[in-house]
């Protein structure tokens, strides 16, 4: 286990490049097993969750080659239909391998998937979609899936716009016989990017970017090459940390369309973002003052399905709010444990009132003091790094590997921006 040691009080300055999208590459790795041909992916981030997913590919009989940001996966034959408990426990997206295994082998067995402990994380959308496509699902000590005669198209309505549920069932539907409709589908940029990859492999998906996907099943998919889209959550995290520290940065490798709502939320906290064609500029000349609603009431920053503000961006924005003059209510609707990390901010001197598991009021500006903090999940860990950057003195953020699961070379990127940070094993 390693620890990040951070000396606070240094504004972030410089240029950072957005990495490949974590939430796109993880399901893409599983999608590569839908075909017995080679698939090449570029712009692949070097993060822990990617390594765990590749371990599953090898466990099932696939071949993996990596050179820098380029990844080759070739699953000419699959030798196993069961993913062992240890690998399942390491990464939540291990469940994504069910669709490829059902298509290739007609069965799949796995164990409860791991991931961040941020509250109840339903898998019902996965089970619902697979059963609608003709799979038999049995949940006991292990999770057992089987299908006879192949998957069959269906008209489905999701009770929530689940990102991983949409990605997984889309992967199953593209190789199901007949026509499928996924209604109330998620349409985040990473969901769209997975759909584009599948279409390059020979799938027939229309409605990409909308809440209704129409899919004409095909008997088999081909190999292809694809560049993974950038990680808009990582980019927003660095922008929030830079603004909180009083810095000035440019994030390169971005796309405008992914930041319309993000810019609105930053504006609520008095931060102006300049959205350029392929980059975002954050000036050090910011007001850092909460903009109240037009009637003078307390503004609310809430998360929601795309194109609303992403839940994964909330934690770093809360850290930013501690350095902004005024009060703001954060409403996390999706996960009842995501806001627990706010207790750590309070211990550092933040003026925060936790109303309930889903709502917290942050009043700033607070003078944060250094301390030692555990990293409870990926996004909270990054938010606590941001708090340490703003604090007086030297802080330690424990369980650095948790942050490594979702952020590529985080200390190297922060060092390049002038942060005083080092990793201690």
CB 384 within 8 A of CB 373: yes
Asked if residues 310 and 279 have their Cβ atoms less than 8 Å apart, the reply is no
Answer yes or no: are the C-beta atoms of 23 and 258 closer than 8 Å.
Answer: no
Contact of 298 with 328, CB cutoff 8 Å: yes
Query: What is the SS3 assignment for 20-57?
Result: ECHHHHHHHHHHHHHCCCEEEEECCCCCHHHHHHHHHH
Structural contact between residues 138 and 73, judged by C-beta atoms closer than 8 angstroms: no
Contacts of 46 (CB under 8 A, 6+ apart): 69, 408, 409
Q: Which residue out of 49, 116, 303, 404 is catalytically annotated?
A: 116
> Number of C-alpha atoms within 13 angstroms, CB side, residue 332?
26
Reply yes or no on whether 116 is catalytic: yes
Name the 3-class secondary structure at 342: helix
Q: DSSP string of 219-261?
A: S----EEEEPPB-HHHHHHHHHHHHHTT-EEEEES--GGG-HH
Tell me the C-alpha distance between 125 and 156, whole Å: 10
Positions marked catalytic: 116
């Amino acid at each position: 286990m390693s620890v990040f040691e951070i000396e606070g009080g240094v504004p972030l300055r410089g240029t950072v490049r957005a990495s490949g999208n974590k939430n796109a590459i993880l399901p893409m790795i599983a999608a590569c097993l839908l075909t017995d041909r080679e698939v090449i992916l570029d712009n692949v981030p070097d993060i822990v969750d990617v390594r765990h997913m590749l371990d599953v590919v090898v466990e099932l009989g696939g071949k993996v080659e990596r050179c820098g940001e380029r990844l080759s996966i070739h699953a000419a034959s699959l030798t196993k239909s069961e993913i062992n408990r240890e690998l399942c426990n390491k990464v939540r997206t291990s469940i994504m391998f069910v669709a490829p295994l059902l298509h290739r082998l007609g069965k799949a067995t796995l164990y409860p998937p791991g991931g961040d402990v941020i509250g109840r994380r339903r898998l019902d959308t996965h089970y619902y979609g697979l059963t609608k496509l003709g799979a038999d699902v049995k949940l006991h000590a292990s999770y057992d899936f089987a299908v006879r005669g192949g998957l069959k198209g269906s008209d489905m309505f999701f009770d929530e716009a689940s990102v991983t549920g949409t990605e997984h069932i889309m992967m199953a539907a593209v190789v199901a016989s007949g026509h499928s409709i996924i209604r109330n589908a998620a349409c985040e940029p990473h969901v769209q990017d997975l759909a584009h990859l599948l279409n390059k492999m020979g799938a027939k998906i229309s409605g990409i970017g909308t809440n209704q996907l129409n899919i004409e099943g095909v008997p088999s998919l081909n190999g292809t090459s694809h560049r993974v889209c950038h990680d808009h959550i990582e980019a927003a995290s660095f922008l929030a940390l830079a603004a909180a520290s009083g810095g000035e940065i440019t994030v390169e490798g971005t796309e405008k369309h992914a930041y319309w709502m993000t810019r609105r939320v930053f504006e609520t906290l008095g931060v102006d973002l300049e959205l350029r064609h392929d980059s975002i500029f954050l000036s050090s000349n910011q007001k850092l003052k909460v903009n109240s609603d037009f009637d003078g009431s307390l503004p609310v920053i809430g998360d929601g399905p795309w194109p609303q503000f992403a839940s994964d961006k909330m934690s770093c924005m809360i850290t930013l709010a501690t350095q902004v003059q005024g009060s703001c209510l954060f409403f996390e609707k999706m996960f009842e444990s995501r806001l627990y990390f706010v207790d750590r901010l309070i211990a550092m001197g933040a003026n925060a009132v936790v109303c309930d598991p889903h709502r917290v009021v942050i009043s700033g500006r607070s003078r944060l003091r250094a301390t030692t903090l555990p990293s409870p999940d990926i996004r909270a860990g990054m938010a606590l790094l941001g708090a340490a950057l703003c604090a007086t003195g030297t802080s330690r953020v424990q369980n650095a590997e948790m942050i490594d699961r979702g952020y590529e070379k985080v200390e190297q990127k922060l060092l390049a921006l002038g942060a005083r940070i080092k990793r201690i094993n």
